[in-house]
Amino acid sequence: MDSNSEKCQQNGYKLLHKGGATVRGLLHILSTTLLSLLIPLSFLLLARLTTARYLLSVFDNFPTQNPNSPLSLLFLYAKPTVIYLLVPIASVSALINGLIGKFKLLSGSPPPAATVGFRLCLYGAWIFLCVLQICVALGIEGSIAAGFDGSEFGQEKSLLCRIVFFFGLHETTAFGAAVVVKPVVDDTIFGFTREEGWAEKVATAVSFGGLWWWKLRYEVEALAVVPEMKRELMMKIGVEDFIGWWLYYLTVTIGMVRVVKGVIWVVMILTCRRRWRRVKGNDGGDLWSNEDNV
């Protein structure tokens, strides 16, 4: 009886441990996915801010749904300087990453000598995510309260430009998820960082695709369209309009880098494939040799 009870307890502990590991894994994937969407949501917020500023400059008494709502007033009249600083930092970093290689600041378990620097980078990632989440949450809720969106200016660019921008924004989102979001979530849930798995990548890609199809593809082009409309109408183009226009085409550049690297990779696979041929050995066995086709 004693041995049976001990076995039952051990089996119970194993099941409990596996169940806890499964829950932690699911929580890790969910947290990583939701926080990874902060970057595309930031672009959505910037597009709505650009649209709101344009409509308010054209129509003095543009109607809003809740003109006296605190969130609505915050969205309409606050100076969103922080969001205009954080998003370019993420985009420029993603472009540098695509051109010269991957950032390794928060990748893998840090060596003992780099623990201080690693923790400082991790604290910086925490601050970045917290500030970005506050700005995005208040801004999106404020835009909903005010009734603003950028769908009036969507689908103005060519199909090729939209496709390249999609790849660029996905690359920026994946970069932020791997370099900033995942190390923070790893440290919170597991107490250490680990290599990125396929589940996080798939969940992030699917979530980004859903957000793009639902909202982004209709509104994000306002970042580039509104400044161009202002230029045609001889209206004053502010610093925020220029930053939004620059961010749009910076993301297009990131997408072009991604597409070119993908084409080069495919060409290298096709031109450097190995041709295997079967040769009979002296003992009658099968030998294999290969030749490079270049």
Note the pLDDT of residue 62: 65
Of 53-57, 192-196, 253-257, the poorest mean pLDDT is in 192-196
SS3 at position 37: coil
Give the model's confidence band at 213: pLDDT under 50 very low, under 70 low, under 90 confident, else very high.
very high
Q: Alpha-carbon distance 243 to 62, whole Å? A: 24
Two tokens, residue 269: 């696979």
Residue 11 CB contacts under 8 Å (≥ 6 apart), including other chains: none
**Considering the chain, what percentage of its residues have pLDDT values greater than 70?**
75
Taking a C-beta distance cutoff of 8 angstroms, is the pair 289, 279 a contact?
A: yes
Of 4-18, 35-49, 182-196, the poorest mean pLDDT is in 4-18
Block residue for tokens 């829950």:
23
Nearest CA among 270, 152, 166, 276 for reference residue 218: 152
Of 5-19, 50-64, 146-160, 197-211, the poorest mean pLDDT is in 5-19
Q: What distances in angstroms separate CA 199 from CA 29, 172, 285, one per listed residue?
A: 7, 18, 43
In the predicted model, is pLDDT for residue 271 greater than 70?
yes
Give the model's confidence band at 102: pLDDT under 50 very low, under 70 low, under 90 confident, else very high.
low
SS3 at position 81: helix
Backbone angles phi, psi at 290, to 5 degrees: -140, 155
In the predicted model, is pLDDT for residue 10 greater than 70?
no
* For range 70-78, the mean pLDDT: 85
**Size (the chain), residues:** 294
- Give 287 or 237, the one with higher predicted confidence: 237
Note the pLDDT of residue 110: 52
**Chain center to CA of 283:** 58
Question: CA geometry: angle at 53 spanning 48 and 55, to 5°?
Answer: 95
- Give 293 or 18, the one with higher predicted confidence: 18
Residue type, 143: S
Taking a C-beta distance cutoff of 8 angstroms, is the pair 50, 244 a contact?
A: yes
* For range 128-132, the mean pLDDT: 94
In the predicted model, is pLDDT for residue 244 greater than 60?
yes
* For range 86-97, the mean pLDDT: 93
Beta bridge partners of residue 153, listed in sequence order: none
Q: What are the residue boundaries of the structural domains of the chain, listed by start? A: 17-269
Taking a C-beta distance cutoff of 8 angstroms, is the pair 75, 139 a contact?
A: yes
- β-bridge pairing 274-280 and 286-292: antiparallel
